[in-house]
């Protein structure tokens, strides 16, 4: 209907020519026929006019057409889990014309428009407040518009994927199925294209005392229970620019203070961050907020402790850990290390009802080729083959064993349906032993305790800091 109105308006806005007479009102047909008799065969003239009219209509319709977006609606569906804000909706994306469930690539929803900005905050130090009004700084900020667009694109994909995931993460779901659905939707909305765009790292779904780096290996049939506390951590990358963002899922209200403590601590870390801010000061602020909470479980009160050997981190192109660590406790790093303009950080905090210290335990599922991997001559042919697959499919991005056993081996764009790796464990161990690949086993506190995590990606823009992954949910 809209396209028809647009076409009619355009034609009626100009005087009709002989080529357009076929579009005149039916009442004028008799006069036109009389005029045409003196010029030639009416039948031939009518035929040519009909052909021209059809071509014009087709051309106009094609010009006015585009991506078939869904109706723009207000989100209404609430997530079944706890740990999110009251403004969280599992159909968040319908406000942009996205389908429910989401199926349209995010880039199509915003074609010809800017991707949504994240939350903009001023840099924390008073000495940096001039940046908000400085024309020189504003000009420097505009120079990075392409970079910001890529990161905002990845962030919007993350928001839509996690909103969709929040609709089906319920007690009784198998974690392997949950990860597969989430990751497939991630690939679909970002339009996976090998190393150019895709998943940033494997979906973490660490339960209870396991704080990080757990995802189901093939054959793992773990099922989410009502009394579990699960950390969902996944990433999106576009041209190597990774958005790293996580939240905690629970269904029992007794864990609410734990989740609130960690969410508030993460927000405090973000507020404290800024250009020239000392990373140690951020850790001190995070710990102060988090450890002001306590949790009552089975009649016993537990103080919430910041997990002192887990940190946030800087992010570089195709490098999830780019060198700087953001501590979450006082004295967690040297006081001389500061945030700098242009850097990208993942501000993440972990709280625990246990000892507040994690160790590597359980079967490893996460792996990543070292960013500065040494050149080592490999003797095993299977190791050479696996390394070649890792290089072309993942590069220096993290991967997991589930992906190696997919038909596409982790990327349908690169491998088609011939990417599945067979009998690769010996080769993978060899690559780890020689230092080319780094294993990342699950990080666990004491058994019986509960841990929570919240995380956002922020950019140290010249004018301000932008929490690009911020959403209505957390």
Q: Is residue 6's pLDDT more than 90?
A: no
Selected catalytic residue, list 233, 260, 408, 445: 233
Helices (H), 249-309: 256-272, 279-290
Residue pLDDT, tens place only, 416-444: 999 999 999 999 999 999 999 999 999 99
Selected catalytic residue, list 313, 366, 389, 456: 313
Instruction: Decide if 466 is catalytic.
Output: no
Dihedral Cα 228, 204, 420, 416, nearest 10 deg: 120
Q: What is the pLDDT of residue 53?
A: 54
Q: What is the pLDDT of residue 412?
A: 97
Selected catalytic residue, list 244, 260, 267, 445: 244
Instruction: Decide if 213 is catalytic.
Output: no
SS3 14: coil
Residue with tokens 């003239």: 45
Residue pLDDT, tens place only, 233-248: 999 999 999 999 999 9
Instruction: Decide if 321 is catalytic.
Output: yes
User: In the structure, what pLDDT confidence band is assigned to residue 70 with cuts at 50, 70 and 90?
Assistant: confident
Give the phi and the psi of residue 344 in degrees, each rounded to 5: -120, 135
Instruction: Decide if 233 is catalytic.
Output: yes
The mean of the pLDDT values for the chain is: 89
Q: Please report, for residues 85, 162, 289, 397, the alpha-carbon distance to residue 471 in angstroms, rounded to integers and kept in the order given.
A: 10, 10, 22, 25
The set of residues, in sequence order, having a beta carbon less than 8 Å from that of 252 and lying 6+ positions away, is 82, 226, 227
Beta carbons of 19 and 52 less than 8 angstroms apart: yes
């Amino acid at each position: 209907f809209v396209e028809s109105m647009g076409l009619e308006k355009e034609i009626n806005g100009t005087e009709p020519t002989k080529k357009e007479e076929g579009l005149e009102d039916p009442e004028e047909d008799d006069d036109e026929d009389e005029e045409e008799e003196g010029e030639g065969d009416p039948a031939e003239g009518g035929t040519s006019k009909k052909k021209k009219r059809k071509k014009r209509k087709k051309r106009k319709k094609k010009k006015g057409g585009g991506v078939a977006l869904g109706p723009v609606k207000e989100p209404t569906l609430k997530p079944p889990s706890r740990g999110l804000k009251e403004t969280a909706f599992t159909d968040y994306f319908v406000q942009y014309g996205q389908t429910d469930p989401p199926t349209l690539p995010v880039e199509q929803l915003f074609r010809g428009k800017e991707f949504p900005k994240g939350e903009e905050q001023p840099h924390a130090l008073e000495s940096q407040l001039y940046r908000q009004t400085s024309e020189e700084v504003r000009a420097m900020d505009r120079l990075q518009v392409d970079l910001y667009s890529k990161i905002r694109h990845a962030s919007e994909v993350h928001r839509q994927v996690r909103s969709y995931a929040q609709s089906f993460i319920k007690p009784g779901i198998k974690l392997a199925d949950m990860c597969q659905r989430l990751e497939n939707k991630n690939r679909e909305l970002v339009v996976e294209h090998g190393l150019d765009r895709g998943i940033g790292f494997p979906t973490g779904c660490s339960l209870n005392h396991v704080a990080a780096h757990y995802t189901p290996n093939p054959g793992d049939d773990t099922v989410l229970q009502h009394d579990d506390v699960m950390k969902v951590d996944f990433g999106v990358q576009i041209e190597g620019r990774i958005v790293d963002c996580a939240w905690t899922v629970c269904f029992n209200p007794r864990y609410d203070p734990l989740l609130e403590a960690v969410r508030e601590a993460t927000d405090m870390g973000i507020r404290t961050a800024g250009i020239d801010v000392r990373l140690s000061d951020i850790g001190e602020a995070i710990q102060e907020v988090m450890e002001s909470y306590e949790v009552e479980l089975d009649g016993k009160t537990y103080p919430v402790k910041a997990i002192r050997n887990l940190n946030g981190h800087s992010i570089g192109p195709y490098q999830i850990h780019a060198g700087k660590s953001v501590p979450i406790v006082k004295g967690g790093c040297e006081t001389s290390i500061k945030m700098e303009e242009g850097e990208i950080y993942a501000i993440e905090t972990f709280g625990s009802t246990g000892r507040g210290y994690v160790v590597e335990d359980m079967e490893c599922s996460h792996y990543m080729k070292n960013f500065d991997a040494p050149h080592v001559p490999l003797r095993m042919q299977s190791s050479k083959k696996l390394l070649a697959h890792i290089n072309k499919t993942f590069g220096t991005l993290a991967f997991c064993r589930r992906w190696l056993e997919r038909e596409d081996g982790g990327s349908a764009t690169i491998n088609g349906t011939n990417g599945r790796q067979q009998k690769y464990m010996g080769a993978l161990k060899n690559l780890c032993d020689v230092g080319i690949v780094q294993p990342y086993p699950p990080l666990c506190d004491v058994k019986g305790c509960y841990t929570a995590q919240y995380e956002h990606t922020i950019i140290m823009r010249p004018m301000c800091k932008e929490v690009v992954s911020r959403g209505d949910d957390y």
